């Protein structure tokens, strides 16, 4: 049975997902732990992949040799020091070590043209890695809190999508998405093409120019199990890479 299971899994793409490193309590234990919301794992599995967790310790870009695709997960605020900015009072809970870890993986993934999906904070660190900056507290710019209505409550945001882009091929000209963020792209990196915006002008998706599948979204597709379009597209790109390398 073990050999049969191995043969079945051999054909499924391996998708790495970056994780949080946080103080955590479980049972009688209170320790730092690498963790990730299960919805990311379920989304990758539902789309046909095998999820592999990538903790922000022992960073080594050669781990990408084991992968067919990479997801940069959401999470805490990006450290403004990574783009030479002074911290805003609302910028809290930064994890500079995770920022650097994910930047290393992003650079290596782009060098290899590994299929890449960057989610929420993932889009932000993608932009910073490529030379862009962030709006540290979005309500200062748009005068509302609809992108993060209240703690642990996702907002529903309608985005307008640019035609003739990967994002456009997946979503058409408009989509309603789940958002939870108070930071967003400010100066967009030169190698990124903005492919979707909210009605207030907030960048909601961007693609790395010159790559077949290197897409970041400001929203949380893993929070909508009825819409797997992004994960399915990632798995299709990963499957193609797996069979051709």
Nearest Cα residue to 190 out of 206, 176, 212, 171: 206
* DSSP state string for 176-217: EEEE--S-EESSPPTTEEEEEEETTS-EEEEEETT-SSEEEE
User: Which of 102, 204, 207, 222 is labelled catalytic?
Assistant: 222
d(CA 23, CA 33): 6
> Helices (DSSP H) in 51-200: which residue ranges?
96-112, 121-129, 139-142, 166-171
Q: What b/e sequence results for 100-133 when a residue is b if at least 16 CB atoms lie within 10 Å of its CB, and e otherwise?
A: bbbbbbbebbbebebbbbbbbbbbbbbbbbbebb
Looking at residue 11, what is its pLDDT? 87
Q: How many CB atoms are located within 10 Å of the residue 59 CB?
A: 17
CATH number at residue 127: 3.40.50.880
Number of domains present in the structure of the chain: 1
Decide if 146 is catalytic.
Answer: no
Decide if 220 is catalytic.
Answer: yes
Decide if 222 is catalytic.
Answer: yes
User: Which of 147, 181, 182, 220 is labelled catalytic?
Assistant: 220
User: Which of 101, 102, 120, 179 is labelled catalytic?
Assistant: 120
Domain extent for 124: 2-244
Q: For each successive 10 residues of the chain (245 residues), what is the average pLDDT? A: 44 96 96 97 98 96 97 97 97 96 98 98 98 97 94 96 97 96 98 98 98 98 96 97 85
Q: What is the pLDDT of residues 7-56, one digit of tens each?
A: 444 589 999 999 999 999 999 999 999 999 999 999 999 999 999 999 99
Q: What is the pLDDT of residues 93-103, one digit of tens each?
A: 999 999 999 99
């Amino acid at each position: 049975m073990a050999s049969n299971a191995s043969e079945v899994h051999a054909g499924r793409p391996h998708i790495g997902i970056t994780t949080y490193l946080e103080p955590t309590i479980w049972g009688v234990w209170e320790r730092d732990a690498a963790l990730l919301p299960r919805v990311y794992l379920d989304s990758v599995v539902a789309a046909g992949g095998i999820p592999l967790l990538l903790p922000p310790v022992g960073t080594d870009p050669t781990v990408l040799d084991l992968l067919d695709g990479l997801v940069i997960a959401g999470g805490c605020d990006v450290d403004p020091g990574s783009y030479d900015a002074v911290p805003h009072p609302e910028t809290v809970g930064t994890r500079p070590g995770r920022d650097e870890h994910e930047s290393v993986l992003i650079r290596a993934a782009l060098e290899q043209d590994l299929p890449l999906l960057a989610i929420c904070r993932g889009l932000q660190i993608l932009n910073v890695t490529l030379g862009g900056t962030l709006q540290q507290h979005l309500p200062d710019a748009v005068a509302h809190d609809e992108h993060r209505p209240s703690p642990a409550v996702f907002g529903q945001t309608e985005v307008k999508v640019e035609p003739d882009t990967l994002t456009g091929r997946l979503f058409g000209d408009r989509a309603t998405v789940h958002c939870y963020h108070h930071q967003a792209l400010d100066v967009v990196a030169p190698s990124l093409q903005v492919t979707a915006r909210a009605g207030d002008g907030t960048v909601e998706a961007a693609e790395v120019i010159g790559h077949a599948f290197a897409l970041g979204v400001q929203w949380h597709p893993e929070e909508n199990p009825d819409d797997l379009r992004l994960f399915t597209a990632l798995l299709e790109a990963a499957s193609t890479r797996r069979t051709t390398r």
